[in-house]
Each structure stands twice: as structure tokens, then as C-alpha cells.
Structure 1
Amino acid sequence: MREEEVRYQKLRFAAWIGIVANLGLAAMKAIVGMIANSKALIADAVHSASDVVSSVVVLIGVRAAKMPPDEDHPYGHGKAESVASIIVAVLLFIVGFEIAVSAFQSFFEPVEVPRTLAIYAVLISIFVKEGLFRYKHYLGKKFKSDALVTDAWHHRSDVLSSFAALLGIGAAILGGYLHIQWLVYGDAVASAVVAVLIGKMAWDLGNQAIHNTLDHVLHDEDTVEMREAAKSVDGVMNLDAFHAREHGHYVIIDIKIAVNPRMTVEDGHTIAKAVKERLMLEPNVHDVFVHVNPYNGKDS
């Protein structure tokens, strides 16, 4: 099985794991939240439900990125995953805003002390979501998938929100037991904290995804081996220009080589072909475009 196909299968499986797990968690937290009178847990359930949508977006993005180059997209569809990351970040921000509005309204409504059952639901959520984060983050980094890494951090945001909900629910239960009124609002405060955490994470992930979507070249220190590999090809007298740009999970290289000005066009083409073949052996290099210049005696 080709490396690209293996990558797609692994990322697709991870996305489906997220969809199934989040559906179960969202249903559990929503039901327990209503039974236990916990606004923080219901807010957390909405967050888990949004993770289902984000996993579906990731699944679509990974599938699109796998498509081969065509007439309209000669460089491939690698940026589809970065676009999916932006969509996930926007969804995350919307969820955070809705939770913030709900938390604010809670301060002006009668407060019911949540039941202890809510704590068990939150603990289960923390355990499952942390497992999903570690699994997806590992795969995302391994296969250079912006979409899966963003989705992984979406799971980590759910861990943070569940932890905040745990503290809020615990404070509210304690406040009801000790008859301390301000502690009873701990559940609503936890919802507000959850909203802030989600908003911050959405901003950070969206900012990174937009950066990855825009064309940017790798730094010189990241391309030392590539440039040395190109120079090592027989007939290459100098590198006039070298740009390696990330295109989603893979790299496309634009290079200008200098050769003996007295050689034939065919010989220059042969050297250019050798340079491309050598660079295509480098990790994550998807395509190489080589331009041949006559050597003018000046080294870069």
C-alpha cells in the first residue's frame, strides 16, 4: 500500500473514532446534565457535540487532500486540510460564544444545586477526551496533518472545559450543602471559564491554520539537507535560487540551478531531471520544479 494511502486510512480512522466517541459523550453529558440540573455539564455536552462536526470536517478535508493533482489544481489538494482546520477553529469559536451567552444569563436566573451524578459524567469525559487528544495529536504530527492536530486540540479544549465544569459543579454542590449562596453560582462561573478557554484556543488554532494556508517557504535551517542534496548532483555548479514551500502536509520545491553555459540544452535538461529525482527522495517532498540557468561565475 502506498504511503499516501496509508496516511489517508490512518487519518480517516482517527476521524471516525472521534465522531463515534463524541456522539456518545455528548448524549451522556446532555442527559446527565438535565437530570443533575447542571448548566456547566450541558454546556460541556454542546462542546462535545461540536467536536462531532469538527471531526466530520476533518474527514472531508483529509479525503480532499488525498485527491491527485488536476488541471485546476496542478500542485495537488494538500491545503484542503488547512482549510478544514480554519473551519474547525471557527466552529470552536462559535461554540465558545454560545456557552458564554448561556453562562451570563445564568447569573440572572434561579440557580439549582447540581446533583453528584454530574461529577461522574465529567470524570468519564475527561478520561475519554484526553485519550482522544493524545491519539490524534500523535497521528497528526506523524503524518503532518494540520486538520487532525487542530481536531486534537479541540479534544484538549474539551478536557479543559470538563475540568472547569468539574470544579464548578463541585463548588455548587458544596455551596448547597454548606448553604453558601455565592458558591452555588460555581456551576455558572465554570461555564463562563469554559467559554473563555474555548475562545482562546479557537483563536490560536485559527491563526496557525491561516498561516499554514498562505504560501510560505521553509526557513533556511530547515532546508540545509535539501540544498546540499541538489548541489551534490553532477553538473550543478551553483544554486541561484531555492524555495521549498509547504502545501498542506507536503512540500513543493522551486529551484534554479546554474550549469555550464557551453553544454547543450539536452545535457542541461538531463541535469535538471537528476536534481528533481534526487530531491524527490527527501521526506515529504511532493514535487520539484527546476529552472536551468547558465553559470555566470558567481556563487550564491
Structure 2
Amino acid sequence: MESTEERNRAKVGKLAGIVGIICNFALAGGKFVVGTLVSSMSIIADSVNNLSDAASSIVTLLGFKLAEKPADKKHPFGHARFEYLASLTVAVMIFVIGFELAKSSVEKIISPTPVKFSLVTIIVLIVSILVKLWMTFFYNKKGKQIHSTTLLAASADSRNDVLTTTCVLIAMVVELLTKWQIDGIMGALVSLFILYNGIGLIRQTISPLLGEEATPEFRKEIIDFVNSYDKVLGCHDLMIHDYGPAKRYATIHVEVDKDEDPMTCHDTIDRIERQCLKKFGIHMVVHYDPIVTDDLKAEKLQLKIMECLKSKDSRLSIHDFRIANCSSGTLLVFDLVLPEDMMSQRNQIKEYILHSINKGKSKYLLDVTFDIDTND
């Protein structure tokens, strides 16, 4: 079932796409007519650039339209990642435009040609700058409103157009007043900025497609919320999966006293799952781990291992601790959470623990599962 957030997101995104199509087609048509009337190739060329911007707006509109398609048999998590694909397409188009501008600018530096000056050209360029400036702020506002990388990419594209057209205008005025032909140099500088911006946007949009971790602040907010329930003694192994904006799924392990009534635990888990969807917009699946709270031996051993680990690095922690007897000794089973930069030290840490706890007649064996600390 589609949430209010998803409906609002699609509505804002499609509105932005339609506004972009109308503005860019209007600019392209106006510039083409004026350019033809005054025989200005620069204005006609700029009209073609606006057509490519209109294509970007169509991609934006299609991205939001396809992203709102409901889940189906082949895609049970929905189609929201279409928005990420739209963002990537716009980012690639920005990079291509930057590359083409760089190429034409270098050609102009090598073989400079006089810029044709006319009052009509100046007026058209100023109007274009004002419209694109408004579109920059419009896309930026709407992008931040719904946290959309697609609209923020469109905002960056409009800003690049403002810079490009402003440089054309400056070069035209400078050449008129001083006869210096700086059009190619200005274009080259702007193209470098656009290329840098395009690469940044491509990296930014590829990351969620590959699957990126939620922010530490958001993870802490969820963990604190889950820990606030009376029956929950602790939680761990929070994993958040992003299938597109407003389409997040998560799993978490909660620790509950082994003597708690199973039906009571089930009710608590149900409430956590429902409230996570309501509060965070996350489809949460909770697994509960029964914890032994009255075993003094296990408690002392767990505390001893924790002290041992903290003496090595304060970031280390364990969970799911339990004791199992076997023929060759006492088996200590637990999960050990390591920062990413310590994953290569797993064997050394395990040996360090064994050395610390196997003193005297003690004979302990370890069964350790290493987890990466995603909060680090």
C-alpha cells in the first residue's frame, strides 16, 4: 500500500519534471526563433542545449512516474529505485555536456572567432539566466523538501547553465569593450567545473544503487527507540536495506529474558515493528534472542571477556553470549563486533581472548562470529 509520503514525493517530483519541460522547451523555442531572426549561431546553439535540458526533465518525470509503480511479483520491494536511475541518467548527461563544452572551448582557444554582438542577443541571454536561476532555486527547494537526488541533480544542471550563459555574456561584453577574445578560456573554466560536478553527482547517485549504510544518527535513533521497550534488554545486528526513497526495510535482533512469556515477547515485537513503520517509515522485522540472566558463571565470563577487549580497544563489544559444554572443554559462543579497520586482526584478537581467559586449570574454547561495526 502506498504511503502518504510516497504519494507526496511522486506529486512533487512530477510537478518539478513538468515545470522543467515547460521552461526548457519555452527557452529552446524562444532562442531558436530569435537566433534565426538575427542570424546568431550562438543563440541557436544555446537553444539546442535547452533541448537537452528538456530531455533531462523528461527523464526526471519518467523516473518519478516509474518509481511510484506498486510492487509486483517480480519486484516485491517496489520500483522506487527508478528515481536513482533517473538521477544517474541526469548526472551522466551533465558530464557529457561538460565534456562537449570542454572540447568546443579548446577548439575556440586554438582558433578564436569574433563573438557577434547585438542587443537582442544580450536580452535573450539575460532572460535565459534569470529563468535558469529561478529553476536552480526551485529544483533545490523541492529536492530538499523530498530528499531527492534527482531534483538536486537537476538543480545543479540549471546552475551550470547559469554559469555557462553568464560566461558567454561576460565574454561578449569584454570582447566588445577590449577586443580580447576570452570566450574559449571562460568556456574551458566552466567546463572543468561542470565535469567535476558531473563526476561528483555520478558517484553520489551510484552509491544508493549499490546499497549504502544509513547514517549513524539514524541508526542510533532506531536503536534507542527499540531499547525503550520494557521487555527489551538490548539490541544488535541492525541492518537497513534501501530499495529507493521512502522504501526501507530493516532487521534487528532484540535481547529478551529467557523466562519471559513467549506470547508477551511476540506482542512486544509486533508493537516494535508497527511503531517503526509509523515513526520511521521502515518495514522492520524483529528477531528475538533469549538471554540467560541468572547464570553467574556466564555473567562473570562475559564480563571478563569484555574487560579484556576494552583493554585492547574501547570500540570492541560482544553480544549473544552463551556457554556450551563439549568433550574438549567449555565452549564460549558469542558475536564480536569489530570496527572495519580491525577486521584483519580477527585471529590475533581471538588468540588474545584465549590467552586472557585460559589461565590456571581453565580450558575454554571459542566459537566467535565477527560482525562489522556499521556505527563506527
TM-score normalized by the length of structure 1: 0.86
Q: 1:197 to 1:120 in 2, by over 3 A?
A: farther
Q: 1:9 to 1:221 in 2, by over 3 A?
A: closer
Which of 3, 6, 11 matches 1:4? 6
Q: Any idea what SS the aligned residue of 2:278 has?
A: coil
Distance of 2:29 and 2:292 partners within structure 1: 70
Q: 1:32 to 1:165 in 2, by over 3 A?
A: farther
Is the deviation greater in 13-22 or in 206-215?
206-215
CA displacement 1:22-65 (0-9 Å, x = unmatched)? 111123334445536363x4554333222111111111111222
Equivalent residue for 2:275?
A: 278
Equivalent residue for 2:348?
A: none
Count, aligned residues: 291
Equivalent residue for 1:65?
A: 67
Distance of 2:113 and 2:135 partners within structure 1: 36
Say what the alpha-carbon RMSD is for the aligned residues.
Answer: 2.5
Distance of 2:267 and 2:255 partners within structure 1: 13
Shift of 1:286: 3.7
Question: Which amino acid counterpart does residue 289 of structure 1 have in structure 2?
Answer: V
* Structure 2 residues not aligned, in runs of 5+: 294-301, 303-317, 320-376
Distance of 1:263 and 1:86 partners within structure 2: 50
Distance of 1:84 and 1:264 partners within structure 2: 49
Contact 1:15 1:56 in 2 (8 A): yes
Q: 1:109 to 1:30 in 2, by over 3 A?
A: farther
Distance of 1:43 and 1:64 partners within structure 2: 32
Equivalent residue for 2:225?
A: 229
Q: 1:129 to 1:57 in 2, by over 3 A?
A: same
Q: Does residue 143 of structure 1 match 2:139?
A: no
Question: Which amino acid counterpart does residue 257 of structure 1 have in structure 2?
Answer: V
Alignment of 1:1-300 (within 5 A): 2-33=4-35, 35=38, 37=40, 39=42, 41-106=43-108, 107-108=110-111, 110-175=113-178, 180=179, 183=180, 185-250=181-246, 251-263=248-260, 265-283=262-280, 285-296=281-292
Contact 2:115 2:172 in 1 (8 A): no
Distance of 1:279 and 1:120 partners within structure 2: 55
Distance of 2:275 and 2:237 partners within structure 1: 17
> After TM superposition, which residue ranges in structure 1, 4 or more long, deviate above 6 angstroms?
none
Distance of 1:65 and 1:88 partners within structure 2: 16
Shift of 1:134: 1.1
Identity %: 26
Distance of 1:234 and 1:42 partners within structure 2: 69
CA displacement 1:127-154 (0-9 Å, x = unmatched)? 1111111111111111121111111211
Shift of 1:264: 5.4
CA displacement 1:232-287 (0-9 Å, x = unmatched)? 2232221022233444322332211122323455443322211111211224x242
Is the deviation greater in 186-195 or in 95-104?
186-195
Question: Which amino acid counterpart does residue 270 of structure 2 have in structure 1?
Answer: K
Distance of 1:222 and 1:295 partners within structure 2: 26
Question: Which amino acid counterpart does residue 17 of structure 1 have in structure 2?
Answer: V
Distance of 1:43 and 1:174 partners within structure 2: 24
Shift of 1:4: 2.2
Distance of 2:119 and 2:237 partners within structure 1: 65
Distance of 1:216 and 1:76 partners within structure 2: 18
Q: Any idea what SS the aligned residue of 2:118 has?
A: coil
